[in-house]
Amino acid sequence: MQRAWWRGLKAGIRRVMVWILVLPIRCYQLFISPLTLPSCRFTPTCSSYCKEALIKHGPLKGTYLCVRRVLRCNPWGGSGYDPVP
C-alpha cells in the first residue's frame, strides 16, 4: 500500500518538473520563434526535440539530451533528421 503511494508521489513530482522545464520552451515556440528566421539545422527543430525529450525521458535524461542537441546545432555539428531516441 505504501509503495503505491510512493510511486504516485514520484510520478507527480516528475510531471511537475517536466512541466516546469517545458514551459519556457513552449513560451519560446509561441512568442519568440515566430519573430525569427528559421535557423535550426535539424528536423525536428531543437525546441521541439527538447520538449519531446523531456516528456519522453523525464527531467534528468531529457535535459541531458536537450543540452547535447543544442550544442550540436552549429555549422560544424551536422544536420538532417535527428529524432529523440
- Report the Cα–Cα distance between both ends of the chain, in Å, rounded: 34
* Nine-digit cell string for 46: 531543437
Give the tens place of pLDDT for each residue, 44-70.
Answer: 999 999 999 999 999 999 999 999 999
**pTM of the prediction?**
0.89
**What pLDDT is attached to residue 1?**
57
Its domain, for residue 11, covers 2-81
Cα-flanking dihedrals φ and ψ of residue 81, to 5°? -80, 125
Domain count, the chain: 1
* Nine-digit cell string for 29: 515556440
State the average pLDDT for the chain.
Answer: 92
Bond preceding residue 44 cis, omega within 30 of 0: yes
Give the tens place of pLDDT for each residue, 26-35.
Answer: 999 999 999 9
Integer Cα distance of 77 and 46 in angstroms: 13
